[in-house]
Amino acid sequence: MLSRRIKSLFSDSIYYGVGIFLMKGISLIMLPVYTHYLTPNDYGRLEVLVVFANVISIFLGFGLVEALYRFVGLAKKDQEQKKQAGQCLLLAFVIGVFALVIFLLFSTKVAALLPEGISHDEVLLMGIALAVGSVLNVPLAWLRFTGRARLFFTVTMVKVVLQVLLTFYGFTQGWGIISVLASTAISTVVVAIYLGHLQAKETGLHFSVASLKDILKYGWPIFVAGIASFALAGMDRWLLAEYFGADDVALYAIAMKFALVPILLIQPFTLWWYPKRFSVLSEQNGLKVNAHFAMIGASLAVVMCGGLGLVGPTLITWLTPESYHGAASILPLLLLCTLLKLIAELLNLGCYVDKSSYTQMHINVFSSVVGAVLLMIWVPSYFIDGAIYALVIAYAVRLLLFYVISQRRLKLPYQYGYLSSALGFAFIATYLGQYIEVAL
């Protein structure tokens, strides 16, 4: 059974890996182009919009992807799986339409609340992408659950190619960050129409008061935890923009882009494993299999962070103008934040097995409060250093709580040998990366 899963991992991971890296890593891939066509001030303004979009996407997602994995994964019959997935899709449609109306009516007022002179058109384009993207997430999760990695790869490639071509065209017309926002909105709409129609044909759009209550009950704590996590995934840049301006945010944002690369690189594994780990629990040796693959994922995360620590500083020097090169020195601690985040999400199964998700909500809220308090105290006085140290402490608290509570709820027989070796490699690689950057 284990060997079959490993074969499935490698075959599907190629498609998931390339597709998700290009779709979510497009801002990194296009980094030399962005820094060529956008001034540091424009890039900082774009980053403020990205942070705002991340917060809104949590509202619109409402934990539906996690609910789909949980309820569809535990459903015994094929028809029941389709019914649960159809209910998630219907709820996503309702949320998406509501969000689109809100952005159409109030984008001007929203723009006035944002820092750095964000315009009405920029907020509206971002809102269209967010509203439609909230619908798109459910069919993408359905593709992953049903194991259609090739189709997942195809549609993500279509989205990426369309987005890149439209962005280049907009830049050549002098549209600035509007180019990025418009291309994202158009490509999201095209792919969402296709995949939404595809899933609707397969699962239908189902409505059941009892099942929808279960989905909402499960998704609500994830939603609350997601909102709280803004302190760990956006509040840092928001405060830097508020106190120091868009130009300063740009430097920090460049380092953050590279620090998030391991999250993209490990997604072939997580996209394959997360939908399966609940159903694996009911199989023979389910606890052992879960522990085995969780440790594989954690070791991969450490190696990937170490690899970025080695080559990241050099890449920053090569790919960006000199005014951004200072990002190399702050990359290691941001990579540590990424590592703590990834390990916590790989070793937290015990917190997700109950019908409610209040445990993970409480953990995320508590660690986010710790991060928010430290950010508000340290950023005004210590600038980027204050932001980074606040995040490291908050993510460390989050990892500790997830691991301890998860093991109390569902004790998995983890083996830590590979993880220890990977940590040693990561430390040495990151040290060498800083040494090479200074030598250059």
Q: pLDDT tens track of the chain, all 440 residues?
A: 445 555 555 566 677 777 777 777 777 778 888 878 888 778 888 888 888 888 788 777 777 777 777 777 666 777 878 888 888 888 888 888 999 999 999 988 888 887 667 888 999 999 999 999 988 988 988 887 787 888 988 998 999 999 999 999 999 998 989 999 999 999 999 999 999 999 999 888 877 777 677 777 776 666 776 677 667 777 888 788 777 766 777 788 888 889 988 988 888 788 778 777 877 877 788 888 888 888 999 999 999 999 999 999 998 888 887 877 888 889 999 999 999 999 999 998 888 777 666 787 788 889 988 999 999 999 988 888 999 999 999 999 999 999 999 998 888 888 888 889 999 999 999 999 888 766 55
pTM of the model: 0.71
pLDDT at residue number 403: 93
pLDDT at residue number 439: 58
The domain spans of the chain are: 2-439
pLDDT at residue number 205: 84
SS (H, E, C) the chain: CHHHHHHHHHHHHHHHHHHHHHHHCHHHHCHHHHHHHCCHHHHHHHHHHHHHHHHHHHHHHCCHHHHHHHHHHHCCCHHHHHHHHHHHHHHHHHHHHHHHHHHHHHHHHHHHHCCCCCCHHHHHHHHHHHHHHHHHHHHHHHHHHCCCHHHHHHHHHHHHHHHHHHHHHHHHCCCCHHHHHHHHHHHHHHHHHHHHHHHHHHHCCCCCHHHHHHHHHHHHHHHHHHHHHHHHCCHHHHHHHHHHCHHHHHHHHHHHHHHCHHHHHCHHHHHHHCCCHHHHHCCCCHHHHHHHHHHHHHHHHHHHHHHHHHHHHHHHHHHCCHHHCCHHHHHHHHHHHHHHHHHHHHCCHHHCCCCCCHHHHHHHHHHHHHHHHHHHHHHHHHHHHHHHHHHHHHHHHHHHHHHHHHHHHCCCCCCCHHHHHHHHHHHHHHHHHHHHHHHC
pLDDT at residue number 263: 87
